[in-house]
Amino acid sequence: MHSSVLAVDIGLAEIRIIQVNKRANSIELVNCFRHQLSGGEDDISSAIKQIITENKIRADVVIAGISSQRAIFRDLSLPFQDLAKIAKVVKYEVEPSLPYPAEEAVFAFQVHQGKSNGSSDLFIASVSKEVVASCCRSLNEAGVDPHYILLDCIALYNLAVQSFPSCQDVIALIDINEERILLTIVQGDQLLFVRNISHPNRRLWPEES
């Protein structure tokens, strides 16, 4: 028995689509596609629909990825450790550093190890609700209903945690494409750092002959 997983990674300049089959102890790569973007949501949805239709792709689970270039990351210290209280105040604590009101964003946070003085250190990610809505519209117009929507750095984090469950060393995950270099730092089950380094006018790969 196996399940088929389709991952749709929507970047700023291209779409990457991967299909894998998950078996008990292995993952098999079935399909891999790339499409350079030249327009807005219509281009995204039409490209996704064309790839899925032409290749007759069927999947049990669909995961959508949003570029972490569209997210804002912050470290934050709070003088308490109660998770319910943290969840209530975190968006207001981060709001001064956002280019949009906190009510127009979605937030996720991870609490790092609590301190003996009762305080807590957090790693926070925020994304505009419009970015998430745009992703959903593009997928829905392509006939795709995502089960999960993740930032690309979170997908890398999940991969590291699952691949090295007992490792407590600091792991640097470096993802390079033609848009940016994504650096994600993980230690154990803690996401410590995310940084995007843009290279808009630099060709990292040689021209295809």
Q: Which domains does the chain have, with CATH numbers?
A: 3-68+130-164 (3.30.420.40), 72-127 (3.30.1490.300)
Nearest residue to 110 via CA among 141, 87, 136, 133: 87
Give CA–CA dist 72/74, Å, rounded: 7
Reply yes or no on whether the pLDDT at 55 is more than 90.
yes
Residue 207 one-letter amino acid = E
8 Å CB contact between 9 and 34 = no
Which stretch of 25-39, 64-78, 184-198 has the lowest confidence by average pLDDT? 25-39
DSSP letter, residue 192 = E
Which run of H or E residues covers position 86? helix 83-94
What average pLDDT is seen over the chain? 89
pLDDT for 114:
63
- What pTM value is reported for the model? 0.83
For residue range 114-164, what is the model confidence (pLDDT) as tens digits?
A: 677 889 999 999 999 999 999 999 999 999 999 999 999 999 999 899 889
Residue 125 neighbours by CB distance under 10 Å = 21
